[in-house]
Structure 1
């Protein structure tokens, strides 16, 4: 099952953007007097709303509670954007009726990390397997020192480590994001 949040996020953001754009345009038009000069200088909340709020002590606490809930939902949504669904393992055979070989993601990423950490100048490597068994993806973070030859390091990651990974996973290619980070001193 591919649980990508992309299409849902785009739809939600488009709808939210349209609602906010319409509300903002209406507020701007009212403030500029396009609905009449009387409405431009009138308070946002009418007298009826003020009377209702004054007559019901729960009104403003309910407004605050609703705002807090919306803020928490927004923060939860925002934090969910940072987390990509981590793949726990892979099934190598496409046809499960003939049997299946399951490979843990930890085994795959540990082997990749160990190999890259042996390259000259590499301080550490962290790999994460994402996506699905049918379409695995790799996110790779490599910290290297000044003594590393960056062009050689990038070439070895691409031509050696990732090619071995593709062979082990029986794939022609595995989409990979490689982040290289220079660290100050050798350990």
Structure 2
């Protein structure tokens, strides 16, 4: 979703900048000489008579800056936790790297029968993470068996490693193309 929003915002910014550049070029300002003003005296008087237009312009620019800052913050924000806090049982906590947990779960998923490739992403917060697993299955794989293996030992090992009583899981399964068969 964020990728789509980025593309739309970049396209809109490109269109606005293209329109502004075209407006400057067609306003005959560059062709009137290097020392000619961008706005003629009559145009400046027109904008001076309508004082409300400046307030609208300032409010519009302020809104654009506010939206740009929100967009920038959305880009910087981490979508997944860098660490998971693990209760060691003695009143202290240990930090388990999120990437390490993702890689361990992905290795166990790849070892399941019928899984061609897996991609694991940790989402949520430090204290309450969730797993998102995308599995690419072989054509012969039985999805029910793969899900049983995923919900059984794989998820149990992840919960044990992170010392979490609850670890939500979202799984997406896709079957790889078998490809055309050759006829002899």
> For the structure 1 residues 150 and 66, does the alpha-carbon distance in structure 2 shift closer, same or farther, using more than 3 Å as the test?
same
Alignment-derived partner of residue 164 in structure 1: 157
> For the structure 1 residues 115 and 53, does the alpha-carbon distance in structure 2 shift closer, same or farther, using more than 3 Å as the test?
farther
1:108-123 matches, within 5 Å, as 108-123=101-116
Equivalent residues of 1:92, 1:133 under 8 A apart = no
Q: Deviations over 1:16-62 (max 9, x none)?
A: xxxxxxxxxxxxxxxxxxxxxxxxxxxxxxxxxxxx999129969x4
Which of 117, 130, 135 is equivalent to 1:137?
Answer: 130
> For the structure 1 residues 72 and 153, does the alpha-carbon distance in structure 2 shift closer, same or farther, using more than 3 Å as the test?
same
TM-score by length of 1: 0.55
Q: For 2:93, what is the secondary structure of its paired residue?
A: coil
Deviation at 1:93, TM superposition (A): 2.1
Q: For 1:125, what is the secondary structure of its paired residue?
A: strand
Equivalent residues of 2:133, 2:170 under 8 A apart = yes
Residue 64 of structure 2 corresponds to residue 69 of structure 1: yes
Residue 80 of structure 2 corresponds to residue 89 of structure 1: no
CA distance in 1, matches of 2:63, 2:126: 39
Q: How many residues align?
A: 132
**Where does structure 1 lack aligned partners over 5 or more consecutive residues?**
1-51
TM-score by length of 2: 0.56
Q: CA RMSD in A?
A: 3.9
Equivalent residues of 2:119, 2:134 under 8 A apart = yes
CA distance in 1, matches of 2:74, 2:111: 34
Q: For 1:163, what is the secondary structure of its paired residue?
A: helix
**Where does structure 2 lack aligned partners over 5 or more consecutive residues?**
1-42, 180-184
CA distance in 2, matches of 1:120, 1:140: 16
Equivalent residues of 2:87, 2:163 under 8 A apart = no
1:1-187 matches, within 5 Å, as 55-56=46-47, 62=57, 66=61, 69=64, 73=68, 76=71, 80=74, 85-93=79-87, 98-185=91-178
CA distance in 1, matches of 2:64, 2:107: 45
Alignment-derived partner of residue 21 in structure 1: none
CA distance in 2, matches of 1:117, 1:154: 13
Structure with bigger gyration radius: 2
